[in-house]
Amino acid sequence: MIHFIGWGSDELMGNAYNPRMEVFNNRFVRGAIISSDGQVLARTVVSDTRKNSDGSGNPEGAYTETREYPLGEVAAQAVGYSTKGKTGIEALSNFYLMESNSNPVVQVVNEITETKSQGDSVVTTLDAGLQKIAYEALGEHNGAVIAVNPKTGEVLAMASKPSFNPNTIVEDWESIVNAENSDAPLLNRCTQGLYAPGSTFKIVMALEYMREHPNDYRNFTFNCDGEYRDAENSDYVVHCYSGEVHGAEDLHTAFAYSCNSAFAKIGTMINKTKFAETAEQLLFNQELPIDISSSKSRFNVTEDSGVWTMMQTAIGQGETMMSPLHEVILASAIANKGVLAEPKLLKQVQSSDGKVIKVFGESATRQLMTEEEASVLSSFMRSVVTDGTASKLRDADYAAAGKTGSAEVSKNGETITNAWFTGFAPYDDPEIAVCVVVEEGETGGRTAVPVAKQVFDYWINER
Ligand SMILES: [Zn+2]
């Protein structure tokens, strides 16, 4: 048994969260977390002054380990931390980081000389370049950006604002958790944040309408005069955004224009039992398939839901709540012919001397909708860019597809708008799906689409 010395105060020992406790817990220096583009996201730096350069003992010396996060707040919630409990990828890959498959001869020499061996590294699916773009694109706003490869499920970026500096989390802990704001910087808004989906929920509504009218959904017509009022209760009225009047529409154009009136009407037409089944199939009210902490989306429509509830639900302003992760899961399945490749964060484990120890296999898949349904929704989402509310993506040199949302919610008694975009690109052969939510933005088209565009631009053109 090897003992590491250099400090020994009872006070340190008594603090379960002291980072130095880690040193007692294992024989290895905790391994590094590396991005898929080869940048260090977390590493442990060792300072050992217990011996002088001539090999003689130095009684004043000490052994310390410091966990460093070179990207700081840019990837703080996704990478997580390991010193105040463990979160994010630090928690997910803990087992591998605390093992060492480095050269066994070196390990034996290390044991004799009471030197800890270097733990294995974990390579994540996160791309540090894209992560920076995603984080910085949010600007001064709070919000979330999550991007995945729809074919493999690899999570490419996971940015959440506000953030914290994981390098100083121990020192900053009290101020972070006791902050008198509701901004919750430790919260990974991508996976744990729950938001009213606004018009992004029209993806689900359009799918449900298609399922109930498989042979004639293309015959749906609606004449938008700027509002939809229930025939029996004239207090039940939904307006199109900003006084717009969309005129004659079918399902496709109502989706592209994000016509609240048409969708409120659809909300009153659908079969609530079947709708609840579709929501369940789309993973509402369930644990989402990801290996880090996440929140279940909420969907509350039942047989007893009234007309007003249905009108509100249809435009994402009811009781439905979704995480950005859930939104990108739906976009990703649509981009991948109806098949969800479950999101994953780990690529492989390698020893400190570069040997590949373990490659994580392909993601599990599940069918969220038929290929035909995915194809129709894709074409609707493409029209949102070419003819509708995501016009800021129109001039890109790749073909993007998606859905915007502008969800009005109450915060501290004031009405604010959370701006959404969820979509993918390129349309014909999707390489990336992304969901953006910008808290207290303007509209999805104005505030969230430009963030998504920066993410697409980098991934498709600049990488
Ligand atoms: Zn309308």
* pLDDT mean over 409-422: 91
* Type and span of the H or E element at 228: strand 227-229
> Virtual CA dihedral for 259, 436, 372, 386, nearest 10 degrees?
60
41 token code pair: 């996201």
Distance between Cα 259 and ligand 1 center (Å): 4
Distance between Cα 212 and ligand 1 center (Å): 22
Distance between Cα 210 and ligand 1 center (Å): 19
235 token code pair: 């207090």
Distance between Cα 228 and ligand 1 center (Å): 8
For residues 224 and 363, what is the distance between their CA atoms, to the nearest angstrom? 43
Q: How far is CA 99 from the centre of its chain?
A: 28
Pick the closest to residue 364 from 346, 331, 342 (CA basis).
Answer: 342
Distance between Cα 227 and ligand 1 center (Å): 7
| pLDDT band, residue 154 (cuts 50/70/90) | very high
Distance between Cα 221 and ligand 1 center (Å): 12
The total number of residues written for the chain in this structure: 463
Distance between Cα 314 and ligand 1 center (Å): 13
Distances (CA, A) of 165 to 8, 75, 176: 28, 9, 10
| pLDDT band, residue 335 (cuts 50/70/90) | very high
Distance between Cα 244 and ligand 1 center (Å): 6
For residues 44 and 31, what is the distance between their CA atoms, to the nearest angstrom? 7
Lowest mean pLDDT among 56-65, 136-145, 260-269: 56-65
Is residue 83 helix, strand or coil?
coil
Distance between Cα 247 and ligand 1 center (Å): 7
Is residue 321 helix, strand or coil?
strand
List the end-to-end C-alpha distance of the chain, in Å, as a whole number.
48
Q: How far is CA 285 from the centre of its chain?
A: 17
| pLDDT band, residue 24 (cuts 50/70/90) | very low
| pLDDT band, residue 179 (cuts 50/70/90) | low
Pick the closest to residue 321 from 409, 252, 392, 233 (CA basis).
Answer: 409
Is residue 248 helix, strand or coil?
strand
Distance between Cα 243 and ligand 1 center (Å): 9
Distance between Cα 248 and ligand 1 center (Å): 9
Q: Please, what's the b/e burial string for 273-295 (b: 16 or more CB within 10 A of its CB; e: otherwise)?
A: eebbebbeebbbeeebbbebebb
Please name the residues in contact with 45: beta carbons below 8 A apart, sequence gap of 6 or more. 65, 66, 68
For residues 191 and 295, what is the distance between their CA atoms, to the nearest angstrom? 6
Distance between Cα 255 and ligand 1 center (Å): 10
Please name the residues in contact with 315: beta carbons below 8 A apart, sequence gap of 6 or more. 198, 199, 201, 202, 238, 260, 263, 264, 267
- E-state strands within 250-374: 339-341, 346-350, 356-359, 365-367
Distance between Cα 250 and ligand 1 center (Å): 11
* pLDDT at residue number 429: 97
* pLDDT mean over 310-329: 95
Distance between Cα 438 and ligand 1 center (Å): 24
Residue ranges per structural domain of the chain: 191-345+362-462
Q: Starting at the edge strand that comes first in sequence, how are the strands of the sheet with 432-438 ordered?
A: 155-161, 143-148, 432-438, 414-425, 401-411
Distance between Cα 46 and ligand 1 center (Å): 62
Please give the backbone phi and psi of residue 446, each rounded to the nearest 5 degrees, phi first. -85, -35
* pLDDT mean over 448-459: 98
* pLDDT at residue number 180: 59
Distance between Cα 329 and ligand 1 center (Å): 27
Whether the Cβ atoms of residue 424 and residue 147 lie closer than 8 Å to each other: no
Q: What is the mean pLDDT of the chain?
A: 91
| pLDDT band, residue 12 (cuts 50/70/90) | very low
Distance between Cα 129 and ligand 1 center (Å): 40
* pLDDT at residue number 25: 54
Is residue 108 helix, strand or coil?
helix
| pLDDT band, residue 141 (cuts 50/70/90) | very high
Distance between Cα 199 and ligand 1 center (Å): 12
For residues 277 and 445, what is the distance between their CA atoms, to the nearest angstrom? 31
Distance between Cα 239 and ligand 1 center (Å): 7
Distance between Cα 416 and ligand 1 center (Å): 22
Distance between Cα 298 and ligand 1 center (Å): 26
Distance between Cα 328 and ligand 1 center (Å): 26
- What pTM was computed for the model? 0.92
Distance between Cα 302 and ligand 1 center (Å): 26
* Type and span of the H or E element at 382: helix 371-386
Distance between Cα 223 and ligand 1 center (Å): 8
Distance between Cα 256 and ligand 1 center (Å): 11
Distance between Cα 261 and ligand 1 center (Å): 5
Does residue 54 have a pLDDT over 90? no
Q: How far is CA 182 from the centre of its chain?
A: 20
Could you tell me the CATH superfamily of domain 191-345+362-462? Answer: DD-peptidase/beta-lactamase superfamily (3.40.710.10)
Does residue 323 have a pLDDT over 50? yes
Mind listing the pLDDT tens digit for each residue in 246-276? 999 999 999 999 999 999 999 999 999 999 9
For residues 162 and 232, what is the distance between their CA atoms, to the nearest angstrom? 45
For residues 48 and 62, what is the distance between their CA atoms, to the nearest angstrom? 6
| pLDDT band, residue 14 (cuts 50/70/90) | very low
* pLDDT mean over 127-139: 98
Stronger pLDDT, 115 or 75, i.e. the higher one: 75
Does residue 23 have a pLDDT over 70? no
For residues 377 and 204, what is the distance between their CA atoms, to the nearest angstrom? 9
* pLDDT mean over 70-87: 94
Distance between Cα 374 and ligand 1 center (Å): 24
Distance between Cα 202 and ligand 1 center (Å): 13
* pLDDT mean over 366-389: 97
Distance between Cα 450 and ligand 1 center (Å): 24
Pick the closest to residue 259 from 235, 234, 241 (CA basis).
Answer: 241
| pLDDT band, residue 318 (cuts 50/70/90) | confident
Does residue 130 have a pLDDT over 80? yes
Whether the Cβ atoms of residue 117 and residue 412 lie closer than 8 Å to each other: no
Distance between Cα 387 and ligand 1 center (Å): 14
* pLDDT mean over 294-306: 94
* pLDDT at residue number 280: 96
Does residue 213 have a pLDDT over 70? yes
149 token code pair: 């490869």
* pLDDT mean over 86-104: 92
Question: Which DSSP string do the residues of 47-69 spell out, in sequence order?
Answer: EE-SB-TTS-B-TT--EEEEEE-
Distance between Cα 226 and ligand 1 center (Å): 5
